[in-house]
Amino acid sequence: MSEHTPHLPNALVAIDLGSVTTRAHFFDAVEGRYRFIAAGEAPTTAGAPTLDANHGILQALAELQTITGRQLLNERGLLLANNTESNLGAHALTATFSAGPPLRVITVGLLDGVSLHSVNNLVDSFRCEIVDSLSLGDRRSPERVIDAISQNLPDLIVVAGGTNRGASLSVVRLANYLALALKLLPENSRPPVLFVGNENVQSEIEGLLSPLTDLYKTTNIRPSLDHENLGPAEAALGMLLFEIQARKLKGLDQLSRLAETRLMHSAQAFGRTVRFLSTVIDAPKGILGIDLGASSTTVASAFGGELEVRSYPTLGMGSSLGGMLAETQLQQITRWLVDDLPDDFVLDYLYNKTLLPGTLPSTTQELGIEMAAARQVVRLAVGKSLPMFPANAIYPLTGTVPWFDRILVAGSTLARHPRPEHSLLAVLDAVQPVGIVTIILDQNHLASTLGAAAAVDPLLAVQVLESNAFMNLGTVIVPVGSARPGSTVLRVQLEREGHKEDVVEIVEGDITVLSLPPGKVADLFVQPLQNMNIGLGPGRGGWIRRVVGGAFGLIFDTRGRPIQMPTSFNKRQELLQTWERRLRGGS
């Protein structure tokens, strides 16, 4: 990796304005390489009673200043130094944000499975709530559609439709419905419209909608039936959503001015880091990223630089826990609890958390409930994201996620757990990965920040990702197939530094750990038995070169997919305790 370029800023401050916590991260060049130095944090103050994000930002910066001993604030706020050699202030600022209510968006497309699908994908990659969708296949009468558009009072309408050589009349007809709906709203209260459809009808759309509201146009997201091009529209939509959110959230505009062009939506920034990872490390099978936030969960996947992002504003660990609870049977949460807790106790805790998202679990029982809920939130988010994973990825088993090389997990619930083996187990239970995958924990809440910081210097993201700022939990090997519990399904042998170790038999229905510390690599021979598939095909094995170690070494997860939990509490408890013990290295 090349050395740090001297003319670029050394000291970078990155603000992350989350819905619960505001963080200020400090990066500096140490011996020619960027390092994550420290973070300060404070409760986000964008909501009541202060209704001004600046207070929380300044508090986080003040804490960072105390920790680093470097003057970062002056009487006007953040001290930005022009001179990159200066030891005062920051040389550059980047920012990410997920605070604020999810914006209400109406999407319009011609065909459900084509342009409407694409425009929904586009909007779903941001933290937005699609409050209604309109297409030619809509069975409502035109007046009901028009009433729905005007009464939903959306923040934004995004219109797709038509390939560049395709339908034009139908697009114009839908736009006419929009025009009628917009006319029903007072002039100063009409939502802006972003048009991302057939570029050949842009002038007609402009003639219809420009007199009524602010119209923005960008390239067609579906230039042909078999080609989706979301890139330019993502940039335009991101900018527009920021402008709308900045009018609702005091302090966001000021942060944007400080960060110049380097303020990003957290979901997009997280996605950028995932994409970045997929290009800088050897990961032919792709990277999966999961950011479990308080107000939303983001799932991102990148295969060779091709990124897909979905943000779920109804799935989170704080105010949006209610979204998970609405589509979950309680048993899907309690099956992961080691403690035998009354259902009402669990529900009370989770519903109170929706009202008080900033509270922390103060007892082990509450921590257990949060980890159980986290599993279900992630499971739902990943389940909803299955259609976004490429069909040509490797699927050792249908209905699961594809085989990924790395899974990057972020979010306070998982990152702050005092015993990371619990976080690892929660990820394995929730995602239920297959193949051979390394799990990385974003213990310092840096993943989104690095996505934005890469705009200042891509090297920063590379060098921090390579440092120990992220915790490599371990590499997991998951055979799938059918075997009797307790029967041998794999024979494995490690070879490190030229020394072959004893053959180990791995049995079905358990978790087995072989020690391989962080930073160490080894070659692993795997011989699947009973036609088991570790991702190389049924019964196929061989030497897997340069397997990466981690905090919990090599983990063989033979619990089957999907994991079946016993109905009896005592048996469940015994299993959960056994798995935790195994990860700690116990037998």
Binding site for another protein (CB under 8 A): 42-43, 45-51, 55-56, 59, 99-101, 141-143, 146-147, 150-151, 153, 176, 179-180, 183-189, 208, 248-249, 344-345, 347-349, 351-353, 355-356, 358-364, 366-367, 416-419
Q: For residues 182 and 269, which CB has a smaller minimum distance to another protein in the complex?
A: 182
Report the alpha-carbon distance of residue 544 to residue 559 in Å, rounded: 21
| Torsion sign across C-alpha atoms 102, 106, 107, 111 | positive
What DSSP designation does 480 have?
A: B
Q: How far is the CB of 381 from another protein (least distance, A)?
A: 23
Which helix H or strand E contains 409, and what residues bound it?
A: strand 406-410
Q: How far is the CB of 59 from another protein (least distance, A)?
A: 6
What are 13's strand-pairing partners? 26, 93
3-state DSSP assignment of residue 216: strand
Q: For residues 158 and 179, which CB has a smaller minimum distance to another protein in the complex?
A: 179
3-state DSSP assignment of residue 575: helix
3-state DSSP assignment of residue 345: helix
Q: How far is the CB of 417 from another protein (least distance, A)?
A: 8
Q: For residues 236 and 294, which CB has a smaller minimum distance to another protein in the complex?
A: 294
Q: How far is the CB of 272 from another protein (least distance, A)?
A: 26
Q: How far is the CB of 193 from another protein (least distance, A)?
A: 14
Complete DSSP assignment for 245-308: HHHHSTTHHHHHHHHTT-EEEHHHHHHHHHHHHHHHS--TT-EEEEEE-SS-EEEEEEETTEEE
Q: How far is the CB of 436 from another protein (least distance, A)?
A: 31
Residue linked to tokens 């989350």: 18
Q: For residues 414 and 431, which CB has a smaller minimum distance to another protein in the complex?
A: 414
Q: How far is the CB of 27 from another protein (least distance, A)?
A: 23
What's CA 442's distance to the chain center, in Å? 11
Q: For residues 51 and 239, which CB has a smaller minimum distance to another protein in the complex?
A: 51
Q: How far is the CB of 336 from another protein (least distance, A)?
A: 16
End-to-end CA distance of the chain: give it in Å, rounded.
41
Q: How far is the CB of 355 from another protein (least distance, A)?
A: 5
What DSSP designation does 331 have?
A: H
| Rounded (5°) CA angle 349-355-356 | 80
Q: How far is the CB of 177 from another protein (least distance, A)?
A: 8
Strands of 121-257, DSSP E: 128-134, 156-159, 193-195, 215-217
The two most distant CA atoms of the chain are separated, in Å, by 77
| Rounded (5°) CA angle 437-438-444 | 145
Report the alpha-carbon distance of residue 525 to residue 529 in Å, rounded: 13
Report strand pairing: 521-528 vs 488-496.
Answer: antiparallel
Q: For residues 145 and 548, which CB has a smaller minimum distance to another protein in the complex?
A: 145
Q: For residues 64 and 450, which CB has a smaller minimum distance to another protein in the complex?
A: 64
Q: How far is the CB of 416 from another protein (least distance, A)?
A: 6
Q: For residues 93 and 208, which CB has a smaller minimum distance to another protein in the complex?
A: 208
Q: How far is the CB of 420 from another protein (least distance, A)?
A: 12
**Do the Cβ atoms of 357 and 20 come closer than 8 Å?**
yes
> Could you write out the three-class secondary structure of 25-76?
EEEEEECCEEEEEEEEEEECCCCCCCCCHHHHHHHHHHHHHHHHCCCCEECC
Which tokens in the block code for residue 350? 């989770």
**Do the Cβ atoms of 205 and 215 come closer than 8 Å?**
yes
Amino acid at site 152? N
Compute how many other C-beta atoms are within 10 angstroms of the C-beta atom of residue 492. Answer: 22
**Do the Cβ atoms of 386 and 562 come closer than 8 Å?**
no
Q: For residues 109 and 318, which CB has a smaller minimum distance to another protein in the complex?
A: 318
Q: For residues 22 and 118, which CB has a smaller minimum distance to another protein in the complex?
A: 22
Q: How far is the CB of 370 from another protein (least distance, A)?
A: 9
Complete DSSP assignment for 411-442: SHHHHS-SSHHHHHHHHHHHH---EEEEEEE-
Q: For residues 207 and 232, which CB has a smaller minimum distance to another protein in the complex?
A: 207
**Do the Cβ atoms of 494 and 501 come closer than 8 Å?**
yes
| Closest C-alpha to 57, from 9, 85, 10, 25 | 25
Q: For residues 23 and 55, which CB has a smaller minimum distance to another protein in the complex?
A: 55
Q: How far is the CB of 54 from another protein (least distance, A)?
A: 11
Q: For residues 293 and 479, which CB has a smaller minimum distance to another protein in the complex?
A: 293
| Rounded (5°) CA angle 340-343-346 | 85
Q: How far is the CB of 75 from another protein (least distance, A)?
A: 19
Q: For residues 49 and 305, which CB has a smaller minimum distance to another protein in the complex?
A: 49
**Do the Cβ atoms of 518 and 550 come closer than 8 Å?**
yes
Amino acid at site 139? R
Q: For residues 82 and 141, which CB has a smaller minimum distance to another protein in the complex?
A: 141
